[in-house]
Amino acid sequence: MTKASDVFKLKNANNVEVTFIGRGGQITGITVPDKDGKLADVVIGYQSVEEALAGDGYFGALCGRFSNRIVKGQFSLEGIDYQLECNNGPNHLHGGSEGFNSRVWDVTPYEESRFTQAYKLSLVSPDGDQGYPGELKVEVVYGLTDENELVIEYAAETSKATIINLTSHAYFNLKGAGNGTIEDQVLELNASKFTPLSAEIGTVTGEITEVKGTAMDFVDAKTIGEACNADDDQVKIVDGIDHNFVIDGYDGMLRLAARLSDEESGRCMEVFTNQPGIQIYTGSHFDGTETGKLGKPIVKWGGVAMETQIFPDSPNKEHFPNAVLKPGEVYKHTCVYKFSIQ
Ligand code: GAL
């Protein structure tokens, strides 16, 4: 039986190392070389497992059953109204206060030729868990390749019609965690549209808007700081970026969603997914009061989460992608974080 504090490591031929723990499958470290071969840990977090277990439970964690927000925690399915916990102001966030990030996953070694090393993480979520219908059986593979890809593959099956939207919540800083903010790191998104927010609703309005001419335009690469410091209503609502972007050309197949790079270190990370959206969150709520890696404070804009997903509040928006899973169907989600030098 896996314990919350158990530590697992994946390592490849290029000294890339991924570390995670049993609780939440939380990725507590991803060490990658820079242009001179110097290694740094590029995910923000704490200095010890004890601190990780006591601290922000979303750092690097697997989130579910429904990542991101559901307005007022309500949805209807097959004629039944469901009320979920409102653990984020008026809304439901990341599956509730006892979401998948707070569970101890069962971790076992996993072998497949495409991976240098891999683990399988499994969880059975009982019918009614956090208010969601159906028993949900979830399997997630963390696989590391010698091409410096961390592959995250999710699969889930349910005993009753339910909703699902799993994601991974690591915050990246390609200079290395603890080395300031991500303001001068360059982001390019394969997204010409995004889903705007309303401060009153506390999440998406349901509109799908062109990014052109707004701070959310990352179709041509630009620094994250340019957007976070822009005089823009959407930026002001969340003091940075905390938005779902609509991936262009979505057809359920794996495609490039995002590219993050840091000129100073030469590190680059591409995100591939078969999902329709990606949440870009610049960690605006970090206030420097917590101590993170290198003994440095965890600061506002100190890392950027890139969460592949179905759009927020999809269960209540008919024109958003489907988040319903029925018995006999298999939910399949792939997210690849590929590291390189530019
Ligand atoms: C993100 C979300 C943020 C914040 C964070 C958890 O996915 O977009 O608004 O809630 O999770 O701290």
Q: How far apart are CA 28 and CA 22, in angstroms?
A: 11
Average pLDDT over residues 76-101: 98
Mutation test residue for ligand 1: of 26, 68, 195, 282, the one with most atoms within 8 Å of CB = 68
Ligand 1: residue of 68, 93, 235 to mutate (most ligand atoms within 8 A of CB) is 93
Q: What's the average model confidence in pLDDT over 59-74?
A: 98
CA–CA gap between residue 82 and residue 75 (Å, rounded): 5
**Residue 201 Cα to chain centre, angstroms:** 22
Cα of 133 from ligand 1 centre, angstroms: 24
pLDDT in tens, 317-333: 999 999 999 999 999 99
The model's pLDDT over 190-242, given as tens digits with 9 standing for 90+, comes to: 999 999 999 999 999 999 999 999 999 999 999 999 999 999 999 999 999 99
Could you tell me the pLDDT band of residue 17, with boundaries at 50, 70 and 90? Answer: very high
Q: What is the pLDDT of residue 144?
A: 98
Against a cut of 0.75, is the pTM above it?
A: yes
Residue pLDDT, tens place only, 109-140: 999 999 999 999 999 999 999 999 999 999 99
* Domain ranges, ordered by start, for the chain: 7-341
User: What mean pLDDT value characterizes the chain?
Assistant: 98
User: 178 C-alpha vs ligand 1 centroid, how far in Å?
Assistant: 20
Which of 155, 125, 187 shows the shortest CA–CA distance to 334? Answer: 155
Task: Report CA(151)–ligand 1 centroid distance (Å).
Answer: 22
- The domain defined by 7-341 folds into Beta-galactosidase; Chain A, domain 5 (2.70.98)
- What percent of the chain has pLDDT above 90? 100
